[in-house]
């Protein structure tokens, strides 16, 4: 039986769930009240949910306490919340229909701000939440080739391939073999992106109450996928070579986890590239403690780096369970939802059954496009690397000029900077930045322990013009925060 949790006692989680509540022309307190009311109407806040204390929510939203007090008064007048002295405020018993506990856990997840932006769609703000590149120019010509040359044969096909089209599996296997990981087609399962790949792995390996060990910080989506499987997530700190070995060994020994999840090439959000020796050590530890190892290599491009280390799976021994995840999202386009899992043939067979239950197989036209692009993947990644190097230099120049007291290490690869804000909670800064028309991801989304609350992730995958606009707005927000603190004194409209 699942245990009920008051998700929104945490002001930061409610802040993430509110999303773009500041948009509009009404007084600020009314916009906040309308945002909370919308969560009630959607069933994301349900009867009995505890709302944060007024001062805590004001701090999380970077507004004055009087704004939250007025918003709660407005909600009480609508009959949506009820308050008792000493007990705080709760959603009223008659306010909303319930949702399942599983739904509510997802709504309040670590990646709420990121995934809510995807669900909500475009806005007038500059969103620095996504770390995605525009589609590769080769995509259009490849799509035309599929229509002209492959479509008749594809239309005669059954259309259901839970393991993936054979030709695509063969070409993924050839690509992995080129990277130093000998692979055959029966070791590959095609998925609808890397996100589904990790979800399928969690379904197969993780049971309620199990533990998953990850790097700290890590990708918010992995926290939410493992949370959805009712697992406990344990973070292990990192150094410049990747996940740190002594604390990793201690965590594996203590917790005997269901999975070890790492991102060796290139880690999100730090951009670290795990060294060859560290890859061997990680594989050896996973073998010693008999822990299935998942490596997510979806972030495959690197400014100026051409020869990458072989995947961790290349250092595995015998029948050790290592699952290597990859994707075309970064090299080609996020809208081409093609990923893969490489593992042993027996495990691939089991994963394909989970894949069949999920969707009977990824879209066959997308797989046909991917099959044609796979032989060109090294060239596509090389170009992404060159483009990324130029954009990284541009972003660092902008930040050095406009925000000289921010601190970061130049990443080995990936598509974002992991920035430390001096003496500042990044969640508070994110609220001020939103008033200036730009969205950023605060470090708490990537490390729920609080160890990286002063950090934010800032992608450099945008055009020079867009990055300049974003940094100018961030600089204005930073100036406001440093001069006046997080809470505005009035209900001024946000700068869009």
Mapping DSSP to helix (H, G, I), strand (E, B) and coil, where does residue 250 land?
helix
Helix, coil or strand: residue 492: coil
* Mean pLDDT value across residues 299-320: 82
CATH entry 3.90.1150.10 includes domain 126-135+379-484: yes
Q: Is the peptide bond before 261 cis (omega within 30 degrees of 0)?
A: no
| pLDDT (mean) for 209-225 | 94
Strand pairing category for 81-84 and 88-91: antiparallel
pLDDT computed for residue 157 by the predictor? 92
Residue 391 is predicted with a pLDDT of 95
Give the count of beta carbons closer than 10 Å to the beta carbon of residue 378.
14
Task: Tell me what pLDDT residue 488 has.
Answer: 44
Confidence check: pLDDT of 486 > 90: no
Does the pTM exceed 0.85?
no
Q: What is the mean pLDDT of residues 180-184?
A: 97
For residues 446 and 455, give the distance between their C-alpha atoms in angstroms, rounded to a whole number. 9
Q: How does the average pLDDT of the chain come out, rounded?
A: 88
Least-confidence region, from 11-15, 182-186, 349-353, 381-385 = 11-15
CATH of domain 138-377: 3.40.640.10
The mean-pLDDT minimum among 108-117, 133-142, 207-216, 277-286 falls in 108-117
List where CATH 3.90.1150.10 sits in the chain. 126-135+379-484
Q: Which long-range contacts (CB under 8 A, 24 or more apart) does 231-237 make?
A: 231/202, 231/206, 231/207, 231/258, 233/448, 235/447, 235/449, 235/451, 237/451
Between these two residues, 390 and 43, which has the higher pLDDT value? Answer: 390
Q: What is the pLDDT of residue 495?
A: 27
Residue 123 pLDDT level (bands cut at 50, 70, 90): low
Under the banding of pLDDT at 50, 70 and 90, the label for residue 115 is: low
Ranges for all domains in the chain classified under CATH 1.10.10.10? 7-108
Residue 99 banded pLDDT, cuts 50, 70, 90: very low
Count helices and strands in the chain by DSSP H and E runs: 18, 16
In terms of Cα–Cα distance, which of 450, 459, 458, 400 is closest to 425?
450
C-alpha closest to that of 470 among 483, 456, 484: 456
pLDDT, residue 403, reads 98
The four Cα atoms 463, 468, 474, 479 give a dihedral, to 10 degrees, of 170
Q: How far is CA 56 from CA 5, 59, 63, 122, 176, in A?
A: 19, 5, 10, 29, 49
Least confident of 33-42, 277-286, 349-358, 419-428: 33-42
Q: Which two tokens stand for residue 286?
A: 């996973």
Residue 247 CA: distances (Å) to CA of 231, 237, 282, 320, 434: 20, 7, 12, 22, 37
Instruction: Give the model's pLDDT for residue 23.
Output: 74
Q: Tell me how far apart the alpha carbons of residues 94 and 81 are, in angstroms, rounded to a whole number.
A: 9
> What is the pLDDT, as a whole number, of residue 18?
85
Q: What is the pLDDT of residue 26?
A: 86
* Confidence class for position 85, pLDDT limits 50, 70, 90: confident
Beta pairing, strands 232-239 & 242-243: antiparallel
Domain 7-108 adopts which CATH fold?
Arc Repressor Mutant, subunit A (1.10.10)
* Region(s) of the chain under CATH 3.40.640.10: 138-377
């Amino acid at each position: 039986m699942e245990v009920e949790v008051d998700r929104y006692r945490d002001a930061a989680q409610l802040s993430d769930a509110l999303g773009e509540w500041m948009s509009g022309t009404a007084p600020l307190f009314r916009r906040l009240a309308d945002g909370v009311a919308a969560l009630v109407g959607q069933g994301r806040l349900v009867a009995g949910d505890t709302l944060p204390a007024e001062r805590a929510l004001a701090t999380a939203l970077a507004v004055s306490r009087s704004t939250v007090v007025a918003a709660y008064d407005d909600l009480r007048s609508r009959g949506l919340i009820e308050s008792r002295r000493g007990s705080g405020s709760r959603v009223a018993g008659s306010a909303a229909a319930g949702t399942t506990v599983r739904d509510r856990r997802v709504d309040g997840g670590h990646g709420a701000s990121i995934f809510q932006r995807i669900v909500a769609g475009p806005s007038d703000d500059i969103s620095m939440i996504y770390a995605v590149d525009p589609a590769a120019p080769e995509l259009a010509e490849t799509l035309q080739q599929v229509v002209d040359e492959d479509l008749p044969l594809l239309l005669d096909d059954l259309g259901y391939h839970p393991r993936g089209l054979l030709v695509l599996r063969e070409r993924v296997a050839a690509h992995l073999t080129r990277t130093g990981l000998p692979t055959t087609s029966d070791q590959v399962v095609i998925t609808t992106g890397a996100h589904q790949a990790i979800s399928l792995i969690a379904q197969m390996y993780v049971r309620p109450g199990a533990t998953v060990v990850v790097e700290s910080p890590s990708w918010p989506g992995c926290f939410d996928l493992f949370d959805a499987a009712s697992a406990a997530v344990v973070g292990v700190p990192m150094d410049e070579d990747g996940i740190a070995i002594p604390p990793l060994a201690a965590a594996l020994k203590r917790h005997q986890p269901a999975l070890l999840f790492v991102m060796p090439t290139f880690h999100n959000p730090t951009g670290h590239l795990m060294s060859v020796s560290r890859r061997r050590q990680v594989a050896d530890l996973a073998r010693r403690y008999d822990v299935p190892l998942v490596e997510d290599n979806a972030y495959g491009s690197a400014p100026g780096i051409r020869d990458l280390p072989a995947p961790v799976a290349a250092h595995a021994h015998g029948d050790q369970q290592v699952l290597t995840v990859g994707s075309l999202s970064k090299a080609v386009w996020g809208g081409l939802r093609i990923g893969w899992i490489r593992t042993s043939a027996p495990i691939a067979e089991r994963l394909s059954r989970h894949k069949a239950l999920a969707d009977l197989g990824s879209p066959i036209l997308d797989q046909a496009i991917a099959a044609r692009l796979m032989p060109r993947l090294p060239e596509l990644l090389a170009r992404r690397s060159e483009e990324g190097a130029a954009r990284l230099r541009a972003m660092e120049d902008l930040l050095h000029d406009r925000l000289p007291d921010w601190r970061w290490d130049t990443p080995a690869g990936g598509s974002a900077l992991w920035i430390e804000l001096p003496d500042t909670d990044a969640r508070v800064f994110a609220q001020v930045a939103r008033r200036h028309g730009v969205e950023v991801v605060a470090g708490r989304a990537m490390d729920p322990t609080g160890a990286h609350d002063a950090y934010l992730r800032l992608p450099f995958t945008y055009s020079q013009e867009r990055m300049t606009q974003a940094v100018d707005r961030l600089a204005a927000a930073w100036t406001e925060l440093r001069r006046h603190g997080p809470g505005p004194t009035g209900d001024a409209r946000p700068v869009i």
